[in-house]
Structure 1
Amino acid sequence: MTLELTDLEACFEGVVPSIISTADADGIPNISYLSHVVMVDDRHVALSNQFFAKTAANIRLNPQATLLLVDGRNGLQFRLALVFAYALEEGPLFEHTSLQLDASSAQVGMTGIMKLRNLDVFRVTKIEPIRSPVETTESLAPKRNRLAGVARIVEAIAAETEADRIVDVMLESIRTEFCFEHALLLQFYEERNQLVTIGSLGFQPSGIGSDVPLGEGVIGAAAASGRLVKVSDMSRVRRFGAAIRDSALSENRTRSIPLPGMPDAMSQIAVPLVAGGTVRGVLFLESRERRAFTAEDEVALSIVARQAAVALALGEKLSLETGSHRVAPAEHSASEQMIRVVHHSFDDSVFVDGDYVIKGIAGRLLVSMLEQHLANGTLEFTNREIRLDAALKLPEFKDNLETRLLLLRRRLDEKQLPIRLVRLGRGRIGIRIEGRLRLRKDMA
C-alpha cells in the first residue's frame, strides 16, 4: 500500500520529537531534533527553524534531507525523503506555527526565547515505513461521526436565546456527543483585557470567575490571535498555571479565583469564539489522554465555538427587550440573620459575610442592586434599567451584560450565600436576600 502524508496525521502532533538528517556540500552529515513538523498539504511538510543554524546552512548548500517521524499512538516510524522547496517568514501557516510554538514556550517559562525564525517547506518525494525490531500493536481510536455530533450540538445551541442555557447546552453537548469530560468557557472582557470563566464542566471547584490575561498560556494565546491552539503531550511541557494553582492563596486574601485544571492532563486545546470578526471568548478543553484532540476535533470544536459566539451575541441583543412572560420573584425573606456585605471601591470587589465573591463590573452590579433594595425594597430589575444606570460605568460598546449577570449569579450560587440572583424571564433579573442586609462601602 502506498503511504500518503494524510496517513501520518498522528506523527505531526509533536508527541515524539522528529529527527532531520542533512549533509553539507562535502557530504558530512548532521542530525537534529525538531520540535515542530507541520503537514502543509498532501505533498509538502514544513519544519520549524529556531536554533538549528547548521541544519539551515546545510539545506542551502544541499537541498536534500531525510526526516524521521514517529507515530505518538503506537511508536511506528516513517522515513521521508525531502527536497527543499522554499522558506516562509510570514503568512497564515507561519503565524499558526509561531503561535503553537509561543504557547508551548510559555508553558516552560521560555516566553519569547524559542522564537520562530522561519519555516522551511520541503517537497516529500518518498515515504517508507521503518520495520521495528519490537512487535507493536496499533491503538485504533473508535470511529466517531463528528459531523453528526456537530449538527446536533449546533441545533441545540441555536434553540436557546439566554446566556445561561447557551453555555450549559454547549458544554453538556460536548460531553455527550464528543465524550470530553473537562471544559471551560471563558468570556473576553475588554475593559480588563482578560478572559473570565463563565461556564465549567467536570471541574470541582468549578472555577467560575477565574481569569486569564490576554495572550497568556494556550487560552490567552487563542484569544489574542483568534486562532486555535493545541498541545498534544503535556508531559513535554509544564502546564500553564500549575505553579500558580498549587501555591495559590485563599480567594479572600488574593481577590483571585484559581483557574481549575487537571493535575494529570496530557492534552489541551483552546478554541476562540469568534462572531462578526471579533473574538468574544475561548472554549478550553483538557484530557488525560495524549493526542486526545484530533484534526477532526479541531474542525468540530471550531464550528461549535462559532455557533456559541453567534448565539451569545444574539442573546445580548435580545436581552434589550423585556419579555412578556415573567416568573414571579420570591418574597423578601423574614429571616433575622444579619448579612454583612463589604464593597471595596478601588477594585469593586465584594465580600459577603467575609467571603470574597466577585470584583469589577460584576461587583458594581451586585452593589447597585443591593443599594436599590435598601433604598426602596426593590427585588426586580430589567436589563434596560441596568444599562441606563450611568453609575455602573458599563462599556458603551459590547457591554456583555448577560454574561456578567450569569457570572455573578453562578458565583453567588456556588458560594451558597444568602444573596442569590434568579432569572425572571427575558431581560429581567430578580434578587433574593435571606436575612437583614448591612452594606458597608470602603472608599479607601
Structure 2
Amino acid sequence: MIQLRDLDDCFEGVIPSIIGTTAADGTPNISYLSHVVLVDDTHVAISNQFFAKTAANIRANPQASLLLVSARHGGQFTLDLTWASSRDEGPLFERVSNQLRASSAQVGMAGIMRLKAIDIFRVNAIAAVTSTVELARTGPPSPAPDLAALGRAMKAISAQHDTEGVLCAALDACEVLGFSQAIVLLGDNTRRLLTTVVSRGYERSGAGAEIAFDDGLIGIAAVSEHPVRINDMSRVRRLGAAIEGTSPADENRTRSIALPTLPDAMSQMAVPLMAQGTLRGVLFVESRQRLAFSATHETAMEMIAHQCGTALALCEALAPDGQPAMSCRAPELPRGRVIQVTHHRFDDSVFIDNAYAIKGVAGRLLSFMLRAYIEEGRSEFTNREIRLADSLRLPEIKDNLETRLLLLRRRLDERNLPVRLIHAGRGQVRLVIDGTPVLSTSG
C-alpha cells in the first residue's frame, strides 16, 4: 500500500502536478500546480494563487483528483482527494508562502507571485499509474543522517570556547551530513543585511559578501525565520547571479564582495540561526546533486543551526569577561614600507594601499584599532574596551562583536593585506602590521 511519505520527491516542485476538478454542472477543469505540499500522513495542500476556476469548483464539489510525478524517476501517482479547508494564515500557510517567495526570487519575480491562500485536502486513496516504458532514475537519494555522528557534531559545537571554533564546528557538522559547500552569514537586523563570515568548499571564502533580507533563499530564510530549500536549480536563476564573477579589482570600484557560489549547484537550502527568538544569521548549504535535501536533512540542519545560534550567543556573552594581557610600555612603531590606509566615513569602507578591505561596522572597527596603533602604539585590544568606545556606535546589546571581529580577520587574511588581525585569547585581538601605516579619513 502506497503511503504519502513514500512520495517525498513528488512534493519538491520539480515537475508540475495536475489537479482535476468539476463544476456544479459537471464541467471538468484541470490546472497545473507549482506547489503541492505534504501536510501529514493523510493530507496535502496546494497553493492558491491564480486558480479561480479550481477554487470555485472545489467549493461547489469538494472531490478532486491529483496527479503527482516523481522528480527522481518520473513515476506517476493519482490521489483521490476531498477538500477539507482553506487557510490564509498560520504556520503551514507561512511555510508554503516562504517556499513560493524563494522560488519566485530565484527567477527574478520577487514580490509578484504572492500567495493568497492554501487549500487543504484529505487523501482518500493513492494509486500508481502503470507505465509501459522503463522509468529513468536521477540517482539514489542522499543517505539519511547518521544520528550518532550528528550527535557528536552537535556536542562539538557546544564544546567550543570562541566564535571561530563554533562556526568551524558548524561547517564540520554540515560535512557530517554530506554537504561540503556551506556558508555562515551574520545577520544585521538594523541594516537588514546578512554578511558572509565563514565558508567551506569554495575557491574564495567571500568573507564580507552581503545579501539583503528577503533576497533569494538566504534573505527569505532570514526574514521568515524558517528554513527554505529548492531541490532543482535547473529552472531558476542562481543565487548571487548579479554579482558572481566579481573580481578583487571590481571590489575596489564597487565595494561589493562576491558571494561564494557553486556554478553548477542543483540543490540549495538556507536555515536561520536563532537564539532565544533572535536571528543571529543564516546557515546555507548547496549541492551539485539534484534532490539532495530531504525533509529529514532539513530537520537535521535546523538542529545544527539552533545549536550554532545558541553557542554564538554564549560566546558573545562570555567574551567581555576576557582580561587584557599585562600592559607594557607602548612599543615603537615598526619601520619599513609605508602602508596607506584610507577610511571613508560615508560608508565606513577601508582601503589599504588602494585595495578595498571592508566596510560597515567591520570597517569602523579596523579604523578604530589602526588609529590607536598609530597614536598610542597599542596593538592589543579587548572586547570590553571596544564596546565602550563611543566612536564605534555599536548597538548596546547583541552587537555580534565577536563574529564581526572574526569576519574582519578572515577578510584581511583572504586579501593577503599587510594589516592582519589575530585572536589573542578570549575577548582579545591583536593587530599585526607589516610596515608603517598612515591613516587618512575622508567624508
TM-score, scaled to structure 2: 0.95
Whether contact under 8 Å (2:150, 2:173) holds in the other structure is: no
The residue matched to 1:320 in structure 2 has which SS? helix
CA offsets, 1:28-59, max 9 Å, x none?
Answer: 22111100001111111111111111111111
CA offsets, 1:256-311, max 9 Å, x none?
Answer: 11112112111111100111011110001111111111111000000000000000
The residue matched to 2:398 in structure 1 has which SS? coil
The residue matched to 2:6 in structure 1 has which SS? helix
Q: What are the residue-to-residue correspondences of 1:71-110 with 2, within 5 Å?
A: 71-110=70-109
2:367 corresponds in structure 1 to 367
Alpha-carbon distance change, 195 to 332 in structure 1, aligned in 2, over 3 angstroms: farther
Q: CA deviation at 1:323?
A: 5.3
2:132 corresponds in structure 1 to 133
Output the CA distance in 2 between the equivalents of 1:390 and 1:118.
Answer: 49
Output the CA distance in 2 between the equivalents of 1:428 and 1:406.
Answer: 11
Is 1:340 paired with 2:340? Answer: yes
Whether contact under 8 Å (1:185, 1:198) holds in the other structure is: yes
Q: CA deviation at 1:149?
A: 2.8
1:284 corresponds in structure 2 to 284
Whether contact under 8 Å (2:22, 2:61) holds in the other structure is: yes
Tell me which amino acid in the other structure corresponds to 2:417. L
Q: CA deviation at 1:332?
A: 7.3
1:423 corresponds in structure 2 to 423
Output the CA distance in 2 between the equivalents of 1:96 and 1:316.
Answer: 31
Output the CA distance in 2 between the equivalents of 1:234 and 1:113.
Answer: 20
Q: What are the residue-to-residue correspondences of 1:20-169 with 2, within 5 Å?
A: 20-136=19-135, 139-141=139-141, 143-169=143-169
Bigger shift: residues 359-368 or 234-243: 234-243
1:357 corresponds in structure 2 to 357
Q: Which 5+ residue runs of structure 2 have no aligned equivalent?
A: none
Tell me which amino acid in the other structure corresponds to 2:303. I
Whether contact under 8 Å (1:24, 1:58) holds in the other structure is: yes
The residue matched to 2:40 in structure 1 has which SS? coil
TM-score, scaled to structure 1: 0.95
Bigger shift: residues 257-266 or 278-287: 257-266
2:171 corresponds in structure 1 to 171
Whether contact under 8 Å (1:67, 1:80) holds in the other structure is: yes
Whether contact under 8 Å (2:194, 2:281) holds in the other structure is: yes
Tell me which amino acid in the other structure corresponds to 2:108. G
Q: CA deviation at 1:324?
A: 8.3
Output the CA distance in 2 between the equivalents of 1:262 and 1:52.
Answer: 36
CA offsets, 1:232-277, max 9 Å, x none?
Answer: 1111222232133257881111111111211211111110011101
2:235 corresponds in structure 1 to 236
Tell me which amino acid in the other structure corresponds to 1:258. A
Is 1:309 paired with 2:319? Answer: no
Alpha-carbon distance change, 430 to 324 in structure 1, aligned in 2, over 3 angstroms: closer
Tell me which amino acid in the other structure corresponds to 1:169. A
Q: CA deviation at 1:22?
A: 1.2
Q: What are the residue-to-residue correspondences of 1:185-204 with 2, within 5 Å?
A: 185-204=184-203
1:411 corresponds in structure 2 to 411
Q: CA deviation at 1:27?
A: 2.1
Whether contact under 8 Å (1:47, 1:120) holds in the other structure is: yes
Tell me which amino acid in the other structure corresponds to 1:225. S
Q: CA deviation at 1:205?
A: 1.6
Whether contact under 8 Å (2:323, 2:382) holds in the other structure is: no
Bigger shift: residues 348-357 or 164-173: 164-173
Bigger shift: residues 295-304 or 127-136: 127-136
Output the CA distance in 1 between the equivalents of 2:144 and 2:29.
Answer: 42
Whether contact under 8 Å (1:161, 1:312) holds in the other structure is: no
Is 1:9 paired with 2:8? Answer: yes
1:184 corresponds in structure 2 to 183
Output the CA distance in 2 between the equivalents of 1:53 and 1:332.
Answer: 76
Whether contact under 8 Å (1:19, 1:33) holds in the other structure is: yes
1:435 corresponds in structure 2 to 435
CA offsets, 1:175-232, max 9 Å, x none?
Answer: 2x11111111001112322110101111122111001111111111111111111111
1:322 corresponds in structure 2 to 322
Alpha-carbon distance change, 98 to 145 in structure 1, aligned in 2, over 3 angstroms: closer
Whether contact under 8 Å (1:342, 1:352) holds in the other structure is: yes
Output the CA distance in 1 between the equivalents of 2:142 and 2:36.
Answer: 26
Whether contact under 8 Å (2:145, 2:300) holds in the other structure is: no
Whether contact under 8 Å (2:78, 2:129) holds in the other structure is: yes
Q: Which 5+ residue runs of structure 1 have no aligned equivalent?
A: none
Q: CA deviation at 1:424?
A: 1.0
1:220 corresponds in structure 2 to 219
Output the CA distance in 2 between the equivalents of 1:182 and 1:375.
Answer: 43
2:205 corresponds in structure 1 to 206
1:381 corresponds in structure 2 to 381
The residue matched to 1:73 in structure 2 has which SS? coil
The residue matched to 1:242 in structure 2 has which SS? coil
